[in-house]
Amino acid sequence: MDLLCDSDAEIAGMTLITLSFLFLHKSHIMMSTPIALQLAEALLPLFDHDNSQVQLLSIKLFQDMMEYLEESENPFESPVQQSLLALFFHCHDENQRVAEASREVLLCALKLMKRRDLKKLVKEQKLCKFSECLLAEDRSRAAEHLRRALRYLQSPQEPLVRRA
């Protein structure tokens, strides 16, 4: 997990690839829930990495982790909840692969959270309505959501700035 925080995009990317290989053989690995939660939380900042390949790999690995832990009693809900806003913004990324992966992982997260209402909005591409619902139901975290959105307002990517 220390290597995920490395400022060198190549090191972070290779670490993500290595971890992804573990999830290709899900039936052969055992991972404790606390370690999986730590890894999930370590992946969240990588969604906003400067390197789009690191973004894409971290988003896809996050999805693999959700699928791996889907059968558990939702100990994964906190990192999943924290990922929703970042995934929403990355649905508008200029890099089409990052945008598509973000949308796919957002749908996976909403499935895990059993949020059919929000999942339907994403499937119907009503992402503005999705963001309104997300903020409306969680007003206690509105300040936190706004703080996270600032990062996207400062993004040089026009589609992200427009959505933020």
pLDDT tens profile 93-146: 889 999 999 999 999 999 988 899 999 999 998 988 988 887 777 666 666 656
Q: With contact defined as beta carbons under 8 Å apart, do 85 and 47 qualify? A: no
DSSP 94: S
Total domain count, the chain: 1
What is the rounded CA–CA span in Å between residue 53 and residue 10? 9
- Residue with the larger pLDDT of the pair 147 and 91: 91
Return contacts of 23-26, CB within 8 angstroms, 24+ apart. 23/61, 23/64, 23/65, 23/67, 23/68, 26/67, 26/68
Q: Is the pLDDT of residue 67 over 60?
A: yes
The band of 34, judged by pLDDT with boundaries at 50, 70 and 90, is confident
- Residue with the larger pLDDT of the pair 162 and 96: 96
Q: Is the pLDDT of residue 14 over 70?
A: yes
Q: Is the pLDDT of residue 24 over 90?
A: no
Q: What pLDDT, on the 0 to 100 scale, is given for residue 162? A: 55
Q: Is the pLDDT of residue 2 over 70?
A: yes
Q: What pLDDT, on the 0 to 100 scale, is given for residue 140? A: 66
- Residue 143 is part of which domain span? 3-163
Return contacts of 9-17, CB within 8 angstroms, 24+ apart. 9/49, 9/50, 9/51, 9/53, 9/54, 12/46, 12/49, 12/51, 12/54, 13/51, 13/53, 13/54, 13/57, 16/46, 16/54, 16/57, 16/58, 16/61, 17/57
What is the rounded CA–CA span in Å between residue 59 and residue 54? 8
Q: Is the pLDDT of residue 25 over 80?
A: no
